[in-house]
Amino acid sequence: MTTDRDRLLDAQVQQADPDRWLASRFVADAGARADLIALYAFEAELTAIPSRVSQPLLAEMRYVWWRDQMDGVFSGAPRRGHPVLEALADLSGRHDLDRSTLDALIDAHIDRIHMRPHDLDALFAAPMRQAVHILAGLGHEAPAEAAGHLLGLLRTGRHDEARALRPQVNQAIRALPSQAFPAVAPAALDPNASAARKRLMLTWAVLRGRL
């Protein structure tokens, strides 16, 4: 059953990350879709931090706050009244999320705001691995990470590298169960395409099972 919290997080992701929100519409099971959205809402919170503060040090303080909150999330005692943390704790309890992946994601964001070299795989590939895990369980790490690396190239403007890598990624994701495909489908999108074109691209990608 869809809850008020599910609807709140769904609206948050729709606004913050429309590409992955759109891909999540292809998850047929409402509960699995809500779980995926909970992960994306957490990522959206982290991505938005630099736009909400004026200095990198202030952004880092907010990232440290999120990292500290992981203790409660993974012990089943999240900060009450915070819908993202509560949803993430529920998600972790049911899907055995990997805390090191979320910690590495936060660290990569800290490096990014300080203009230091940062781990693109921590920002894109590892979270995609978690998304695939939510939809299809363990055992699909390699194709998930390949698709996540492709997404990272696309979202950082490295389109020539992405184009060269795409055939290899499509070969890898053939091993994915069909229910996991919406988690990798955003890697099929041109970030500069219109919303209408993205809908067509996603539909075509899901029908073919190719990015």
Mean pLDDT, rounded, for 85-113: 93
pLDDT at 191 over 90: no
- Helix 126-136 × helix 83-95 angle, to 10°: 60
pLDDT at 82 over 80: yes
pLDDT tens digit sequence for 156-173: 899 999 999 999 999 999
How many distinct structural domains can be found in the chain? Answer: 1
Distance, CA of 106 to CA of 111 (rounded, Å) = 9
What pLDDT, on a 0 to 100 scale, did the predictor assign at position 115? 85
**Residue 111 lies in domain:** 4-208
What pLDDT, on a 0 to 100 scale, did the predictor assign at position 103? 95
CA distances for 68 relative to 77, 91, 105, 172, angstroms? 12, 18, 13, 36
pLDDT band at 1 (very low <50, low <70, confident <90, very high): confident
Identify the CATH number of the domain in which residue 187 sits.
1.10.600.10
